Amino acid sequence: MGQRSSQFTEEELQDYQDLTYFTKKEVMHAHMKFKALAPEKVGHNRNAKLPMNKVLQYPELRVNPFGDRICKVFSTSQDGDCTFEDFLDMMSVFSDSTPKSVKAEHAFRIFDFDGDDMLGVSDLKEIIDRLTSPQKLNDNEMTHLIQNILAEADLDDDGALSFAEFEHVIDKSPDFANSFRIQL
Is 179 a residue whose pLDDT tops 70?
yes
Q: What is the mean pLDDT of the chain?
A: 93
pLDDT digits (tens, 9 = 90+) for 73-98: 999 998 899 999 999 999 999 999 99
User: What torsion, rounded to 10 degrees, do the Cα atoms 163, 64, 62, 38 define?
Assistant: 20
Using CB atoms within 10 Å of the CB of residue 114, give its burial: 0 to 12 exposed, 13 to 18 middle, 19+ buried.
exposed
Rounded CA-CA distance 14/24 in Å is 7
Rounded CA-CA distance 145/35 in Å is 42
Q: What is the pLDDT of residue 3?
A: 47
Higher pLDDT pick, 5 / 159: 159
pLDDT digits (tens, 9 = 90+) for 143-166: 999 999 999 999 999 999 999 999
50 alpha carbon, distance to own chain's centre: 16
Q: What is the pTM of this model?
A: 0.91
Is 36 a residue whose pLDDT tops 80?
yes
Rounded CA-CA distance 57/60 in Å is 8
